[in-house]
Amino acid sequence: MKRLIITSVVALIGLIQVQGQNNLTLYNMKPIPQKFYVNPANQSDAKVFIGLPGISSNYFDFGLSAFKLGDVVDAIRPDENGDTTFMLGEFTDGFKKKNFISISNSVDLFSFGFKVKKNYFFFNTSLVNNVRFTAPGDFFQFVAQGNGGANLNREFDFGFGLDMMSYAEVGIGYSRKLMNDKLTVGGRVHFIKGIATVSTEESSFNFTTDPNTFDYYLQSDIQINTANSFSGIPSISPFDSTFDSTFEFSDSLTFQDAVNSILKGGNHGVALDLGATYKLNNNLTLSASITNLGRITWNTNTYNWKSENPSATYQFTGLNIENALDFDGDDVETAFNKLSDTLQSTFRLNNNTESFTTGLFAQFYVGGNLNFTKNHNAGVLLHGSVYKKTLDPAITLSWNSKLTRVLGVSLSYSVANNSIVNAGLGFSLNAGPIQTYFVSDNLIGLFAHKQANTINMRTGINVTIGRGEKKLKKKDKKKKDKD
C-alpha cells in the first residue's frame, strides 16, 4: 500500500508542484535576466546576476481550452424540487472534439549569468513539470444525450489522454553581439534527467450503436508509455492479476534513497534553445527564438501498453446472464469474465518494458519592437506551441518601459488559449543589488479566476550587479573635465 501511494505521487508530481509555458509578457521585460529562457539572445542589462536558490524563478501556468472556471459553478443549479443539478448538456455545449487541461510549473534551484565585453554567459539548474490532460467532447455529449435518436449510427470517440513529464535540467547558455551590436545571437543547451513520465501515444475508443439491431460496435487503439527514475518502484501493469500484490514497499526506503535513485541510472535527454535579435534601425528591433527542441530517452522502470490488433471491431449484443434475475452472482460474474476475456483476445492489449522517447514541449516566438526612446517601446509578439500535431497560437501586444534605474514595467494584451480576455502585467523593482519581479500574462485569471481559462505567473528574487555603471563613469569623467 505504501508503494502504491508513492507511485501515485510520482504520477501526479506536476499537479502537486503547481504545463504549456507561454511567458508572453516576460519576453519583452528588459531588466529581468530570466527573459533568457524565452530567447537566449536576450542579454541582461546587469553585468552579473545571481538567482537566489529556490526563489529566483518560480513559474506556474494553468490553462483550459474549452471552458472557464466559472462555467462549472454556473452549471450547478437547483431544480423545482430544490435539489442541486449539474446541467451537463449546457456545460459541454461549447466543447470541441479534443479538449485540454494543462498545468506547467518550473522552479530554478540555482542560476547565474555574467557579461564579458560583448559576450554573455548563463547557467541554470531547474525542476520542470508539465501535465496535459485530453478529454474527448464525444464522451460528454454521449453522457448528456445518450446514444439514441440522432446519435444512432454515429461514431463516438471516447479516447482520453494524459501526458505528464517531470524532469531536472542543467542549462548552459551563451550569447554574443555582432555587426556593431546590431545583431545578437544566442543559444542554450539543456542536459536533462527525467524523473517520471506518462506518455499517451495513441488513445482511441470508438463506440457506435446500430440503428436497426441496437448492437454496439467497439473499436480500440491504445499505446501508453510510463517510466520513472525511482529505484524500488518497479514497472507495473494494472491489467496484471498480481497488480495489488506487487505493491509491497520496503519501509527502509527513505527520501534520501529516492533522491539518490533519481540522480543515478538512465532516463537522460538533451534539448536546445536558439534565438536572435536584430536592430533594423534605431526605431525597430526584430527578434525570434525557438525553445525546448529536444527529447528524453526513458529506459529505467519503463512500462508500455499497446494494442496489437487496433483494426479489430467487436460487436456487443448483450450479456448472457439468464439467472441474473435469480440473483445468481456466480453466473453474473462468469458472464462479465467471458466478456472481459473476449475483449482482451479481440483487441490484444499487450504490455512490455521497452525503452521509448518523448519530445519536450517545444515553442517558438517571433517579435518586433518599435522603440520610441531607449527605455520605452511597443511590441508585438507571435507565439506558438505544437501538441499532438495541433498548433496552439497566441499573439501579444505590449508596452514596455524602464521608468527609472529602479523600476521596470510592462503592460500586455494577449489573444491566447481560445480567449480574447488576457491582460498582463510585469514589473521589476531594484532595491540596491536586490531585484524583485513579478510577471503574469493574465491578471484576470489571478484575481477573477471564474471568468478566465488561463492563470499564470512568474515571480522571483535576483541579485544584480553592475547596473548603470557606465552612466556613473561618464558623469565622473564630465566632472573631472570641468575641474
Reading the block at residue 145, the C-alpha cell is 444525450
Query: What is the pLDDT, as a whole number, of residue 266?
Result: 85
Q: Which pLDDT value is given to residue 160?
A: 85
pLDDT at residue 23 in the model: 87
CB burial of residue 184 (10 Å; 0-12, 13-18, 19+): buried
pLDDT at 146: 77
According to the 3-state scheme, what is the secondary structure of the chain? CHHHHHHHHHHCHHHHHCCCCCCCCHHHCCCCHHHHHCCCCCCCCCCEEEECCCCCCEEEEEEECCCCHHHHHHCEEECCCCCEEECHHHHCCCCCCEEEEEEEEEEEEEEEEEEECCEEEEEEEEEEEEEEEEEEHHHHHHHHHCCCHHHCCCCEECCCEEEEEEEEEEEEEEEEEECCCCEEEEEEEEEEEEEEEEEEEEEEEEEEECCCCCCEEEEEEEEEEEEECCCCCCCCCCCCCCCCCCCCCCCCCCHHHHHHHHHCCCCEEEEEEEEEEEECCCCEEEEEEEEEEEEEEECCCCEEEEECCCCCEEEECCCCCCCHHHCCHHHHHHHHHHHHHHHHHHHCEEEECCCEEEECCCEEEEEEEEEEECCEEEEEEEEEEEECCEEEEEEEEEEEEECCCCEEEEEEEEEECCECCCEEEEEEEEECCEEEEEEECCHHHHHCHHHCCEEEEEEEEEEEECCCHHHHHHHHHHHHHHC
pTM of the predicted protein model: 0.78
Whose grid coordinates read 498480481?
242
Q: How far apart are CA 301 and CA 381, in angstroms?
A: 41
41: which 3 cell numbers? 539572445
β-sheet bridge partners, residue 168: 127, 193
* Phi, psi dihedrals of residue 234, rounded to the nearest 5°: -75, 170
> What is the CATH T-level fold of the domain 2-312+348-482, as seen in this structure?
Porin (2.40.160)
Tally of CA atoms within 13 A in the half-sphere of 256 that contains its CB = 1
> Can you give the pLDDT of all 483 residues of the chain as single tens digits?
333 333 333 333 333 233 344 789 999 998 899 999 999 999 988 999 999 898 999 999 888 776 666 666 666 777 667 677 766 666 667 677 788 888 899 999 999 999 999 999 999 999 999 998 888 888 877 777 777 777 788 888 888 888 999 999 999 999 999 999 999 999 999 999 999 999 998 887 888 888 887 777 788 888 899 999 876 555 444 444 444 434 444 445 555 655 666 667 789 999 999 999 999 998 999 999 999 999 999 999 999 988 877 777 777 765 554 544 444 555 556 665 665 666 666 667 788 999 999 988 889 999 999 999 989 999 999 999 876 677 788 999 999 998 888 899 999 999 887 778 788 999 999 998 999 999 999 887 666 666 667 788 999 999 999 876 444 444 445 544 554
Residue 218 has a pLDDT of 80
HSE of 122, CA atoms in CB hemisphere, 13 A = 26
Confidence at residue 143, expressed as pLDDT on a 0 to 100 scale: 76
Burial degree of 455 (CB within 10 A; 0-12, 13-18, 19+): buried
Strand 161-178 relative to strand 156-157: parallel, antiparallel, unpaired?
Answer: unpaired
pLDDT for the residue 89: 64
